[in-house]
Amino acid sequence: MAYIKGIYIQDIYTNQINGYTVGLLRVKESDITEEINRVITFTGTFEELKYKTTYKMEGNFVEHNKYGRQFLVDSYEIILPTEEEEIIDFLSSDIFPIGESTAKKIVDKLGKDTLNKILEDKNNLLDIPRLPEKKIDKIYEILLDYQQTSHIVLELTKLGFTTKNAITLLKKYSTNTLDIINNNIYDTLDDIEIAFIELDKIAKNKGYELNDERRLEALTIHTIKTLTFNNGDTYLYFDEMYQYIKKYTDNLDEDTFEYILLKLSKQNKIHIDKDKYYLEEHYEAETYIANRLFKLNETKKRKLPKLETKIKILEEQNNIVYDKSQKDAITKALNNNLTIITGGPGTGKTTIVKCIVKLLLDIYQIKEQKIALLAPTGRAAKKLMETTGIPAYTIHKYLRWDKDNNLFEVDEFNPNPQEYVIVDESSMIDTMLLSSLLKGTLTTAKYIFVGDYYQLPSVSQGQILKDMIDSNVLDVIKLNCLYRQTEGSYIINLAQEIKNKELSNKYLMKTDDYNFIKCSDEYILNAVKDIVEKALEKGYQEKDIQILAPLYKTRNGIDSLNKILQEIMNKPSKNKKEITSGEIIYREGDKILQLVNDPDNFISNGDIGYIEKIIPANKSLSKKNEVLINFDGTMVTYTPKDFINITHGYAISIHKSQGGEFKLVIIPFTPSFKRMLYNKLVYTAITRAKEKLILIGDPNSFVYGVNNDYIENRKTSLKELLKNKYNS
């Protein structure tokens, strides 16, 4: 590792959010002799760099393929100037409340040791003419802050924290940062972007023993978070925690572990209910949901007048006839305070939601602003908006999620005013999200949850829709009749067969909307290529075609599929700019999948957009390569550091496809996918096809997935809590 010391002279680029900076430093000292007296470009994460200030930076020179030689900073510290001319420049800079004339008087009086003398005793400035005490205090405070800030960042980076994390801790704890670290380094775990294993390494270097109580407490919380997230549980049992945690301790005995659990319980970090162990926030969320749903269900119903007559009027206006089950669903949804509508594809969920909204708007003259149409993903929200003709939002957007602080601005103290809340794709909602949603709406609001019981559950903890339905105490309308069915259609029938694990021989037959193309592993990529090319020739648009797969990194996985599909759907051209990120080439016109929620730009995990424009660094304001992606009219700018949040979207995972529908869906099946194939996953993939479905590959792998009775038996309490409410 090399070092450079010099004066910060120019800012090229600074990200105000994360502190990432590109700047110029005039080098005065370095262990690389040839760099002395040169102006070099440096990059790194900083709190706030001050012009005309001397810094010592440690790191390495790297050769950027486009921007040339740069110094990549790992750590840095402020060096107070010692030369008289430098001190005058420093004191007369914008950060101090004095000009050059006063700065010169101070240096003339105190000499080369000016800054240290001020830090030792600010009263050394009392003899400077026309320098009031308020300015003396301010000069002292700024110098002290400089000294402390530099010291804290340096100490933290020496311990092993990244500069970014060091700055984050400094901003939160100020001058108390090192005291916090020395008292209990694990207290910082939730404050910074660091994995437990990385913080654990730093703690070990600081002398923490494996069975230090502070470590055991943090490790226990980490264990509960890890296991509940991995399995979708909201609680755990003692033994599964103990077996996991003892692998990372020094022969931890059960009694000591039980003591740690009781201690955490007293701190209100976990909740113990007999043999169940919860994170406190999960227990509170499930309890709140159960109480709120119970109240909704039991509160006196506000029935809409003459609803049956109004439905007839709507039928006449739209030349449609609803059958008995549909009318029943519509009536209950509008009259009940809480209604759950569930059914597979083609069972009329969309028709019912559309009717409910039309009745409210056109017949009962309810203002649009009184209706909230919500979904867990941007894609599902878009579909809901297309169905109803009025705005729909992701739940995160509706609740105004603050990403930086990981909280919702809309809560029980500041709820949204809507009176009717319709939530589509409810199977995807996790426990914490539903708790936040219920808190963020009026207690008098009517709730209509719509979803498919057999879809994959939420990625995070909980199985909300399943628990609500399985409790058997809430009003649930189960739709079983198939309405979206035409002569010769097989997709919906296949979905039913998969759901019931009763495949007929038809799955190998070709129909107007379905085909299974058998081929070996080595030919799958070429076969997918041929299918897509023919589809494009037949008039399908690129946006109409979606390939789904369960894995990324196998021979026929998502990454390989995206690579060959890009060359078909968005061929290279002299007129299309490109940019490379690792092994991925991004090209103007590319189909892009968003991988994380981005509340600042109202983009959700799973949203699909298209690269509208690539702007090279020498033509961009940020002096970085920029990629402009269009998400259904919302333009978002990405720079290289953001590329971790996107990937190509020609082929996507089945989990990411939830909440969406595509005209043509192509799904490969191969023995290498077997470890990921199970009934609900296959069902979810199949039901994404709106018009045509093509399966390709190994029929045995498909049959295995259909018959794999892996059920995510998540440990959750909502079902029992709801039952208990009605039995008490």
The CA distance from 686 to 661, in Å, is 10
Across residues 358-365, what is the average pLDDT?
Answer: 90
pLDDT digits (tens, 9 = 90+) for 376-387: 988 888 889 999
Helix (H) / strand (E) element for 680: namely helix 679-686
Strands 634-638 and 626-631: antiparallel
In this prediction, residue 16 has a pLDDT band, given cuts at 50, 70 and 90, of low
Q: What share of the chain is helix, strand, coil (3-state, %, to 5)?
A: 45, 20, 30
Indicate if the pLDDT at residue 175 is higher than 80.
Answer: no
Strands 39-45 and 54-64: unpaired
- 3-state class of 77 per DSSP? strand
pLDDT digits (tens, 9 = 90+) for 425-463: 999 999 999 999 999 999 999 999 999 998 888 889 999
Q: DSSP of 378-414, one letter per residue? A: HHHHHHHHHHHSS--EEHHHHTTEETTTTEESSSTTS
Question: pLDDT at position 597, please?
Answer: 79
Indicate if the pLDDT at residue 302 is higher than 80.
Answer: no
Listed in sequence order, the residues at least 6 apart from 594 whose beta carbon sits closer than 8 Å to its beta carbon are 378, 603, 604, 605, 606, 607, 608, 609, 631, 645, 646
Which residue would you say has higher pLDDT here, 604 or 164?
Answer: 604
* Cα angle 259, 264, 266; round to 5: 95
Indicate if the pLDDT at residue 484 is higher than 60.
Answer: no
When computed from its CA atoms, the radius of gyration of the chain, rounded to whole angstroms, is: 31
In this prediction, residue 265 has a pLDDT band, given cuts at 50, 70 and 90, of very high
Cα distance from N-terminal residue to C-terminal residue, the chain: 68
Indicate if the pLDDT at residue 68 is higher than 90.
Answer: no
In this prediction, residue 47 has a pLDDT band, given cuts at 50, 70 and 90, of confident
Question: pLDDT at position 18, please?
Answer: 66
Across residues 2-6, what is the average pLDDT?
Answer: 91
Predicted TM-score of the model (pTM) = 0.78
723: region left, alpha or beta (phi > 0 left; psi from -120 to 50 alpha):
alpha
Average pLDDT, the chain: 89
Question: pLDDT at position 321, please?
Answer: 85
In this prediction, residue 168 has a pLDDT band, given cuts at 50, 70 and 90, of confident
Which residue would you say has higher pLDDT here, 47 or 119?
Answer: 119
Question: pLDDT at position 67, please?
Answer: 64
Indicate if the pLDDT at residue 5 is higher than 80.
Answer: yes
Indicate if the pLDDT at residue 260 is higher than 90.
Answer: yes
Across residues 302-310, what is the average pLDDT?
Answer: 85
Across residues 272-292, what is the average pLDDT?
Answer: 96
Cβ atoms of 666 and 546 within 8 Å: the answer is yes
In this prediction, residue 25 has a pLDDT band, given cuts at 50, 70 and 90, of very high
Cβ atoms of 451 and 426 within 8 Å: the answer is yes
What percent of the chain has a predicted confidence (pLDDT) above 90?
Answer: 54
In this prediction, residue 535 has a pLDDT band, given cuts at 50, 70 and 90, of very high
Question: pLDDT at position 191, please?
Answer: 82
Other C-beta atoms within 10 Å of 165: how many? 21
